[in-house]
Structure 1
């Protein structure tokens, strides 16, 4: 059964919330996640002719998103990081000890995830955040299920190690340990 362009676009729209969460898990920035999501959807819409009927749309879009992120990450390594000062002012601040603790915890987790290797970060995002099964992630990434399990185990262990150690100020130019 062939999918009409309208059905195909509706499928993309239905995947947008999950794709945005995945983008945020990769980038750790709402603005960058939105940019990555937009680039992914733009690329997907321009490649309708290349989409083969019977291909899993989830797999196709998540792989496209991951590849775009890797390309962007590599180019940022060459260009260097950029900071948007408006990111800090756009958040609405609410008093409350619980909210502050939650924000600190989320920041620590985001920073810890940034220290993970890319392959571990991708698997962790797909399994822990998106809720995909090991088999689905294996299919998305075209790797054996054992590789998914191994990467996930290493990612979880690395996160636990990072989060359990006292925070030390990162030295300029220090490489990721994981």
Structure 2
């Protein structure tokens, strides 16, 4: 199967994501060797994968590599995808494993810095010069203060728009746990926004 070059941004005029049903159909068609479906599948989910790994990854410079690794893994495993869950959920689960594997690999090597640069991460994951871009940076600064599991649940459901059941599947935990993590994340973010020097983040 020919692997298409991954896009660095969405095409002009592509302001909304494709429905999950269409993406899943493309994944199933790609499994059968439809190269056009492969291209559509990759383009439809590339931005979601970039955003997700940017929130999970402690090394913002590795975001593009992790997104590439995610799609290479996914395209190599398409023959096992049966459409029982949405292709988006399936792909984000692969992205999560790619990030975890990168942590395990990094743990065996010397690290130059343990401080994630969230502003660089959002610049890699979002298009520039759009309304609300500064708010996005401020939101990521707030998210950086959350425990990892709560941040993961919040990103999946509130930023990527996954239903709680699918976020639970990606995170490999019960739905109730995801709901609790999101509620606690929201409460923490609201407390931070209520502080006198807290940023006025519209997205929160």
User: Do the two structures share a fold, i.e. TM-score over 0.5?
Assistant: yes
1:80 aligns with 2:111: yes
SS at match of 1:47: helix
1:138 aligns with 2:191: no
Q: Quote the residue 2:100 is aligned against.
A: 70
Instruction: State the number of aligned residues.
Output: 153
Structure 1 residue 72, shift from structure 2 partner? 2.1
Q: Quote the residue 1:148 is aligned against.
A: 178
Gaps of 5+ in 2: 1-24, 124-129, 198-204
Which structure is larger by alpha-carbon Rg, 1 or 2?
1
Q: Quote the residue 2:153 is aligned against.
A: 123
* Distance in 1 (alpha carbons) for counterparts of 2:187 and 2:112: 27
1:5 aligns with 2:33: yes
Structure 1 residue 77, shift from structure 2 partner? 5.3
Q: Quote the residue 1:20 is aligned against.
A: 50
1:60 aligns with 2:90: yes
Cα-Cα RMSD: 3.6
Determine which of 148, 157, 163 is the counterpart of 2:187: 157
* 1:5/1:142 CA distance change after superposition, 3 Å: farther
Higher helix share: 1
1:35 aligns with 2:65: yes
Gaps of 5+ in 1: 92-98, 168-178
Q: TM-score, normalised by structure 1?
A: 0.65
Q: Cα deviation per residue 1:132-157 (whole Å; 9 max; x = unaligned)?
A: 22233233334322111101012222
